[in-house]
Chain A
Amino acid sequence: MSDVVERTLSVLPGLLGQHDLGVGLRGAGGPGRVSATSRLGSLIRSITALTSKHEEEKLIQQELTSLKATVSAPTTTLRLMKECMVRLIYCEMLGYESSFGYIHAIKLAQQGNLLEKRVGYLAVSLFLHENHELLLLLVNTVVKDLQSTNLVEVCMALTVVSQIFPREMIPAVLPLIEDKLQHSKEIIRRKAVQALYKFYLIAPNQVQHIHDKFRKALCDRDAGVMAASLHIYLQMIKESSSAYKDLTGSFVTILKQVVGGKLPVDFNYHSVPAPWLQIQLLRILGLLGKDDPRTSELMYDVLDESLRRAEINHNITYAILFECVQTIYTIYPKSELLEKAAKCIGKFVLSPKINLKYLGLKALTYVIQQDPNLALQHQMTIIECLDHPDPIIKRETLELLYRITNGQNVIVIVQKMLDYLKESKEEYAIINLAGKIAELAEKYAPDNEWFIQTMNAVFSVGGDVVHPDIPNNFLRLLAEGFDDGKEDNQLRIYAVQSYLALLKEEDALYPQKFLQVMSWVLGEYASLVTDVDPEVILTKLHSLLKKTYVTSETKVWLMAAVTKLASHTSSSMTVDKLIQEFSNSLDTCMRQHAFELKHLCEDKALMKSLLPFDASCNDIVVDASLSFLDGFVAEGLGCGAAPYKPHHQRQQEKLSQEKALNFEPYGLSFASSVSSSGITGRQSPAGLSFGSDTSGNSAETGHKETNTLKLEGVRKLWGKEGYLPKKESKVGKEDEPQTVSCGSLLAGQMGEPPVSQSDQVASLSEEDKEKQQLASTLFIGLGSSASVSLMGKADTATQKFKRKSKISATQSSEDVTDFQNSAASDFGPLLDTVPINMEGCEGSINTKLRKASLCSSDIVEDNTAFETSQSLKTSGLDDGLLDSRMSQSSLFDGNIEIFQPSPSSHCESASKIPLVLCLPEELEGLAHSEVVELCQSEDLALYFCKVWTDDSLLLTVFVSNKTTSAFNTVNLVFEETEHFQVLESPTYQFPVIEAQSVKLCQRCVWMDKFCTQGILSGSVSYQSEMETCLEFSITLSLLDFIRPMAMTTEDFGKLWLSLSNDVKQNIKLSSSEDSFSAALNTLQQKLKLHIVDIIGNEGILACQLLPSVPCLLHCRTHSGMLALWFRSPCSALPDGLLYQCQKVMEES
Chain B
Amino acid sequence: MSYGWVTPRVAAPVVPRLGGSWELPAQDIHRAEQNHGFSRPCTHGCSSLLSQTEEVQQQIIRETFHLVLKRDDHICNFLECGSLFGGSDYKLIYRHYATLYFVFCVDSSESELGILDLIQVFVETLDKCFENVCELDLIFHMDKVHHILQEVVIGGMVLETNMNEIVAQVEAQSKLEKAEGGLSAAPSRAVSAVKNINLPEIPRNINIGDINIKVPNLSQFM
Contacts and interface: CB of A to CB of B under 8 A. Distances in A.
B189 interface: no
A16 B57 CA distance: 31
A16 B98 CA distance: 6
Contacts of A27: 134-136
Interface stretch (A314-322, A335-343, A1090-1098): A314-322
Contact of B117 (A40, A130, A186, A275): A275
A253 B212 contact: yes
A775 B97 CA distance: 39
B137 interface: yes
Contact of A94 (B46, B140, B177): B46
Contact of A316 (B75, B114, B165, B196): B114
A55 to B, nearest CB: 10
Given A11-B99, A122-B147, A276-B118, A95 B58 contact: yes
B155 A163 contact: yes
Contacts of A267: 162, 206
A194 interface: yes
Contact of A246 (B4, B73, B217): B217
Interface string B84-120: 1000100000001111100000000101111011101
A9 B40 CA distance: 27
Interface string B109-146: 10111101110110110010011111111011011001
B221 A113 contact: no
B7 interface: yes
Q: On chain B, which size bracket covers the interface?
A: 35 or more
Contact of B143 (A51, A89, A187, A224): A89
B142 to A, nearest CB: 7
Q: Which of A31, A163, A249 has most chain B Cβ within 10 Å?
A: A163
Interface string A169-205: 0000000000000000011001100100110010000
B98 A94 contact: no
B82 to A, nearest CB: 3
A26 B111 contact: no
B40 A151 contact: no
Contacts of B204: 186, 266
A19 B50 CA distance: 39
A283 B110 CA distance: 9
Given A113-B191, A163-B7, A428-B88, A44 B99 contact: no
A494 interface: no
A880 interface: no
Interface of B is mostly: loop
Nearest to A119: B143
Contact of A8 (B99, B206, B215): B99
Interface string A1-45: 000110111011001101101111111110101110010110010
Contacts of A246: 216-217
Interface residues of A, number: 131
Given A263-B208, A393-B75, A34 B140 contact: yes
A322 B110 CA distance: 12
Interface string A809-831: 00000000000000000000000
A47 interface: yes
A29 B134 CA distance: 8
A194 B159 contact: yes
A131 B53 CA distance: 13
A119 B181 CA distance: 14
Given A23-B97, A89-B143, A247-B216, A126 B75 contact: no
Interface string B169-205: 1000100110011001000000100011111001011
A274 B117 CA distance: 12
A269 B112 contact: no
A28 B98 CA distance: 14
Contact of B222 (A8, A212, A276): A212
B14 interface: yes
Contacts of B150: 122, 159
A372 B199 CA distance: 59
A640 interface: no
Nearest to B15: A48
A429 interface: yes
Given A266-B162, A276-B161, A221 B112 contact: no
A152 B98 contact: no
Given A31-B136, A316-B113, 17 more contacts: A11-B99, A12-B135, A16-B98, A28-B134, A89-B143, A93-B12, A126-B40, A131-B36, A131-B37, A215-B217, A224-B206, A274-B161, A283-B109, A283-B111, A322-B111, A390-B76, A432-B82
7 contacts: A44-B139, A53-B20, A97-B51, A218-B213, A315-B113, A355-B116, A428-B88
